[in-house]
Amino acid sequence: MKRKRSEQLFEQAQRLIPGGVNSPVRAFKAVGGRPIFVAKARGSKIWDADGNTYLDYVLSWGPMILGHAHPHVVRAIRAAVSNGTSYGAPTELEVRLAGRIQKAFPSMELIRMVSSGTEATMSAIRLARGFTGRDTILKFDGCYHGHADSLLVKAGSGLATLGVPDSPGVPADLAKHTLTAPYNDLSAVRKIFELHGRKIACLIVEPVAANMGVILPKEGFLQGLRDITRHYDSLLIFDEVITGFRIAFGGAQERFGILPDLTCLGKIIGGGLPVGAYGGRREIMERIAPLGPVYQAGTLSGNPLAVTAGIETLKLLSRPGVYRKLEERSKALSTGWADAAKKAGVAVFGTRIASLMTLFFTNRAVTDYATAKTSDTKAYAKFFTAMLDQGVYLAPSQFEAAFLSTAHTDADIEKTVKAAYNAFQKM
């Protein structure tokens, strides 16, 4: 495939933008080569600046669950934009989106909209600290909750030791308040709470991990987190920025039947425009300004265009049969590419829940960050490149997810499985 125009644009971009991209993963560093520059997208497909077509399994990292440029969403945005683009004042639209979210997530008794998943988790953490009067938080190795300082922290030397910055620029004095535990390791969580429980404001978790590749919670893991946090009066925060409206209309809390104290959302609720949200128990959310003293604000929060796209997206997702069809197509893809690997003798460990999946290039069972890291990232890079050259666009990193949309057809899945077979043969 010729990608001259993308290469030219990448040269130009690097003279103006750090690494030529506005978000690191887009630079293809984890898979080698140079990024394709996308010119347009529709349904399950994207076109690059050279006019090459690709089946898209990144879907903007999750938001485009209806496929790109869904006609109903485009029409709704077109109508909204002629009413202006931002007012900095409350609108009926925000009330309607909040209502739709609350119907799907009843645990979110009050909801505050922001403009990204990072803002949602950053605000939820501040709120948990304000509500409990405690400073310590607990997260899991390999889980990503956006780039707020307190969340760019990795495990200290030993378990239950203070966190250390995972990026320059994060003060050690702040990082030490973030403890980390291995995902799916309830005994580690228990031990940390035995040591620090009364100081822990909240535990934040991706109820299905998707930022170290997709890793499912072990039986009893989420319930265990619910019980332990309740015992120590710490808040349980579900970061459902990816899982919300993705693995079920009501997200992981509907799927697993566990109610957190606070939930963070993003991606799908903006239908491809910038929207994040956090919400939860009324007595907690009432601490948020202007009702309460915990400050949080945003110029474009509840932006009318973004909220319109979100409303239209949730309206279409609430139709009967949407998630069943997504399940069928996703199952066909995940079994298809796993069979293709087997036939070619390539060791993979596939994970999937609903339309969220990952193919780990390892022969180990992947249950946490340590086992995810046994994956052969060079093999993944070869697979990624071989798929890209056959017109299939996967996440440019082993430690991300593949997403499906309602626009992906049976023919798209067949083409993808065939391309995977060819790719594995080449490997």
- Which are the catalytic amino acids? 144, 239, 267
Tell which one of 35, 63, 67, 117 touches ligand KE4 (CB under 6 A).
Answer: 117
With b for 16 or more beta-carbon neighbours within 10 A and e for fewer, the 357-367 pattern comes to bbbbbbeeebb
Structure tokens given for 157: 């030397």
Torsion angle (degrees, nearest 10) of CA 161, 167, 171, 172: 20
Structure tokens given for 252: 């992981």
Beta carbon nearer to ligand KE4, 107 or 358? 358
Q: Is 239 in the site for ligand KE4 (CB under 6 A)?
A: yes
Helix 410-426 and helix 377-388, axial crossing angle in degrees, nearest 10 = 130
Q: Is 123 in the site for ligand KE4 (CB under 6 A)?
A: no
Q: Which residues lie across from 393 on neighbouring strands?
A: 56
Closest by Cα among 314, 273, 317, 206 to 60: 273
Q: How many CB atoms lie within 10 A of CB 71?
A: 10
Contact stretch for ligand KE4 (CB under 6 A) within 47-55, 176-184, 237-245, 419-427: 237-245
Contact stretch for ligand KE4 (CB under 6 A) within 102-110, 140-148, 185-193, 253-261: 140-148
Q: Is 144 in the site for ligand KE4 (CB under 6 A)?
A: yes
| CA 277 remoteness from chain centre | 13
Contact stretch for ligand KE4 (CB under 6 A) within 80-88, 235-243, 317-325, 336-344: 235-243
Contact stretch for ligand KE4 (CB under 6 A) within 143-151, 194-202, 288-296, 365-373: 143-151
As a residue count, the chain comes to: 427
Burial of residue 237 (CB within 10 Å: 0-12, 13-18, 19+) is buried
Task: Look up residue 294 and give its DSSP letter.
Answer: B
Beta carbon nearer to ligand KE4, 197 or 271? 271
Beta carbon nearer to ligand KE4, 301 or 341? 301
Site for ligand KE4 in 310-349 (CB under 6 A): none
3-state helix, strand, coil in the chain (%, to 5): 40, 15, 40
- Fill in the per-residue mask, 59 to 88: x = in contact with ligand KE4 (CB under 6 A), - = not in contact: --x---------------------------
Q: Which helix (H) or strand (E) holds 337?
A: helix 322-344
Contact of 203 with 137, CB cutoff 8 Å:
yes
The minimum distance between CB 321 and ligand KE4, in angstroms, equals: 27
Closest-CB residue for ligand KE4?
A: 117
Q: Is 400 in the site for ligand KE4 (CB under 6 A)?
A: yes
Closest by Cα among 407, 380, 410, 409 to 396: 380
Cα–Cα distance, 424 to 427 (Å, whole number): 5
Site for ligand KE4 in 188-207 (CB under 6 A): 206
E-strand ranges in 269-308 read 276-280
Q: Is 157 in the site for ligand KE4 (CB under 6 A)?
A: no
The minimum distance between CB 239 and ligand KE4, in angstroms, equals: 5
Beta carbon nearer to ligand KE4, 116 or 263? 116
Q: Is 241 in the site for ligand KE4 (CB under 6 A)?
A: yes
The minimum distance between CB 133 and ligand KE4, in angstroms, equals: 25
Q: Is 25 in the site for ligand KE4 (CB under 6 A)?
A: yes
Cα–Cα distance, 427 to 409 (Å, whole number): 27
The minimum distance between CB 411 and ligand KE4, in angstroms, equals: 28
By CB under 6 A, how many residues form the interface with ligand KE4?
Answer: 18
Tell which one of 6, 107, 121, 398 touches ligand KE4 (CB under 6 A).
Answer: 121
Query: Could you list the residues that contact ligand KE4 (CB under 6 A)?
Result: 23, 25, 61, 116-118, 121, 144-146, 206, 210-211, 239, 241-242, 266, 400
